[in-house]
Structure 1
Amino acid sequence: MVVSEIMRASAMGKTSEKRILILTYWAYQDALIQTYTLPYVKIMAENPTLTLWLVCLQPADKPIGKNELETIQQSLAQMRIHLVLLRYIPWGLAGVFNTLRNVAALFFLMWRKRIDTIHAWATPAGGLGYLLARPFSRQLIIDSYEPHAEAMIENGTWQRGSLPFRILFWLEKKQTRYAHAVIAGSSGMREYAAIKYDRLFHEGFYVKPACVDLVLFDWTRKSEAWRTSLGLEGKRVGLYAGKFGGIYLDDDFFRWVTVAIRHWGDTFRLLLLTGHSDDEVQIFCAKHGIPEKFIIRKFVAHHEVPAYMAMADFAITPVKPVPSKRYCTPIKDGEYWAMGLPVIITKDISDDSDIIRQEQIGYVLQELNESEYLQSVKVIETLIGDPVIRAKIVQVANKYRSFEIARNVYRHVYPE
């Protein structure tokens, strides 16, 4: 039954309980589950007709204690969410056998729990979802739908002719053509699917960006006392929450920092929220001649991030401007906007680069060179001098990153 048929059945009062298997490729403790998946699963659970089984892959180095697991399971069960933990072993002979064992376990779970819909998070899990759904004609929904195979080439992890790339790209095509609905992070994914996967979506295509908890990320919590505690009083504070390398800039980011220092001098500071060590950051600083005092590195829990973001005057999203990033949805942009921060971003990143340009709430780097870096600093200087800019940016966050966007999507995909 396709999504449009479900909607018609609902209108006729024939909607019955749906039993949904949610597939992910991450450990339960992983930030991608806790901040990028579980909040949406809980929104899905607001629909009383849905019963959900959430599958997480647990590597040996991320065990969950028995008592902790019981507490988690009891909490989720109150929302009709049942946690299923499967073992994860990396690629290799042991990994292949483990995957086959997991597939068998999921087939048995589908039969025992009478699963009628598979809801996969991202295309790697979607590939597994396709293999499970197709033999039994189950519905398949792909959430966080964006390119993964070609992204792995762009970040240098895979080669185009490699076996992992060919397998995943083939599965991306198969799941796209079979899926009853997809939930993309960017509107541009519709065109990508037509060109790369040979499916033009006339229906069953939804856009759900990375939404933000606007209560947790509250822009009014800005505190001069916090800034003073870190020696930021009277400083121009830029913020980056993330890492370097892979899909993110590294040397080019620190070249931007040197331009900001030349422009603002000793009044500039960079607040860096990252998992990289001090030593790793200092290697980049030494390479680009950046004195230590200009960068304040912190590693903080997610619930502490808003307090540190509140100390900043503006933020940076240094995603590499490679083709596949046009179809992703950076979580950090919504968090920056919720805190009222103007953002410097590279071009063609999701829908965000266009939003920043159209709403005039930051600067979009057209090239990675010193001229553009200097122009971005000058534009930011003008923006942060605007007394109403933070309130304007928070309105943008409400418009483009509210969880109500996700609720509306799931109401269409799974009508009561």
Structure 2
Amino acid sequence: MLQRFPFIEKIILVTIERNADVNEDPLTQHLNKVVHMPLTPKSLAVNIATKISDFLLFPGQLIKFAQKYNTHVLLAHGAPAGALAYKVWKRSKLPFYVSSFEPHADYMLESKVWTRYSLKYRFQKYWEHLQKKNAAGIMPVAYRYKRALVGEGVAAEKIFVVPCSVDMDTFSFNERKRSDMRLQLAWQHAVIGVYAGKYGGLYYQEDAFAIYKQCFESIPDFRLIVLSPQPQEEILSLLQQHQIDTALVNVTSVPHQEVPQYLSAADFAFATYKPGPSKKYLSPVKIGEYWANGLPVLLTEGVGDDSDIIKNEGGGAIFNLREEGSVERALQQIQQILQDPNHRQEILKLAQKYRSPERIREAYEYFFGQKQEEQP
């Protein structure tokens, strides 16, 4: 996207590569403005020591890159990278911007990955505060978070909301692939639900499988596709623990480019996030991918802007495990949506409206263009 702007002369792409054997990214070979500069961290015995080493060494290296290429701005992707950008700014006063800015520390705390008194949580929370205070521009992924940031005193003109975008062409529904995949699975006439992602952390685990069990009990001819990087035996064990017939479930791990054919084969999708105060600031990529394929989404209440979008505009159903009968009502709503022969085309419109990459272009134009216009 940055490559396309005539006022951008050169882009220095800096990545942190834990694998010392870094091959040239084939994508950058076709981007004549991009220079890839990988950073390889020291591998220390203690993980936290490695992280501390990163934050001690990398800012100096980034400053050298900036000086070598006469860099005018620094764009960090995500709040963890934004911490490095802040440290560069503190030493060089190079203006920095943070895209995909989310309350990462709170996500990790609520998911019980970090504790409130852990060094990782306390450092990340502090760095997020400094980014809010000192960044030239912030690009959160949810309007709810923009309102929260303004409430904290961040100037509204420093904020441009950019929900996580999706390539509409890549994830579009394909009738032929749907037929082929359903034939391959021998599920030609089934109602298929699909889940793409992990279990645990940000996501439900035991409760997700309890929801699957409820689907098998309430939806005629229900089948399940699980696309997950987690070990297959772990997922099969969870299915068995919940007395789900594994013959009715396809568990696999596929490259990202193969995910769309599985989505096309499915009828609806699961986005079973754990609830929590910070979850309203999410913009899950998977929801955008589901919508781009025309799939209604069974989503936890209170997740990002998407929860309100579904309530107000459709595109799925919301559940809350603290409310008795919530999942049952949501599944009934999903089945009603599936009765509409045009539901996939209508749901695609939500992806086009809320998850278009065009929003990235608008944000970059707003912050980096010659003329800054008021954000819509």
TM-score by structure 1 length?
0.83
1:10-409 aligned at under 5 Å gives the runs 43-50=1-8, 51-60=10-19, 63-65=21-23, 69=24, 73-76=28-31, 78=32, 80-88=33-41, 89=43, 91-194=47-150, 198-222=152-176, 223-265=178-220, 267-368=221-322, 371-409=325-363
Residue-pair matches, total:
365
Q: Residue 133 of structure 1: CA displacement?
A: 1.1
Q: Which segments of 5 or more consecutive residues in structure 1 lack a partner in the other structure?
A: 1-42
Look up the SS of the partner of 1:239 in the other structure: strand
Bigger mean CA deviation after superposition, 99-108 or 273-282: 99-108
Question: For residues 351 and 410 of structure 1, what CA distance do their matches in structure 2 show?
Answer: 22
Q: Which amino acid aligns with 1:291?
A: D
Change (3 A) 1:94 1:355: closer
| 1:264-321 deviation per Cα after TM superposition (whole angstroms, max 9, x unaligned) | 25x1101111112221111211211111122111211111111110001111101111
On the 8 A contact 1:310/1:339 being kept in 2, the answer is: yes
- Matched-pair identity in %: 28
Structure 2, unaligned stretches of length 5 or more? Answer: 371-376
Specify the code of the residue in structure 2 equivalent to 1:227.
R
Root-mean-square deviation (CA), in Å?
1.8
Q: Give the SS at the match of 1:157.
A: coil
C-alpha distance 225-167 of structure 1, shift in aligned 2 (>3 A): closer
Farther-moved stretch of structure 1 (343-352 vs 355-364): 355-364
Using the alignment, how far apart are the partners of 1:217 and 1:155 within structure 2?
A: 29
8 Å CA contact 2:60, 2:88 repeated in 1: no
Q: d(CA) in 2 for partners of 1:71 and 1:105?
A: 24
* Separation in structure 2 between the aligned mates of residue 257 and residue 212 of structure 1, nearest angstrom: 26
Question: C-alpha distance in 1, partners of 2:5/2:130?
Answer: 29
Cα deviation for residue 71 of structure 1 reads 5.2
Structure 1 residues 303 and 174: CA distance shift in structure 2, 3 A: same
How far the C-alpha of 1:70 sits from its partner, in A, is 7.5
Q: Is the contact between residue 87 and residue 98 of structure 1 (CA under 8 Å) also seen in structure 2?
A: no
Q: Which amino acid aligns with 1:57?
A: I
Give me the whole-angstrom Cα distance separating, in 1, the residues matched to 2:259 and 2:54: 37
Which residue in the other structure is 2:374 paired with? none
Distance 1:188 1:182 in 2: 14
Q: Contact between 1:58 and 1:85, CA under 8 Å: does it hold in 2?
A: yes
After superposition, the C-alpha distances for 1:342-376 in whole angstroms (9 at most, x for unaligned) are 11100111101111111122111133566222112
Q: CA deviation at 1:193?
A: 2.5
CA distance in 1, matches of 2:179, 2:53: 56
Describe the shift of the 1:213–1:249 C-alpha distance in structure 2 as closer, same or farther (beyond 3 A). same
What is the CA-CA distance between 1:160 and the residue it aligns to? 1.1
* Per-residue deviation, residues 164-191 of structure 1 (Å, max 9, x unmatched): 2221111111111111111110011123
1:347 counterpart letter in structure 2: E
- Secondary structure (helix, strand or coil) at the match of 2:157 reads coil
Q: Deviations over 1:34-72 (max 9, x none)?
A: xxxxxxxxx111112212111111113x6224xxx2755
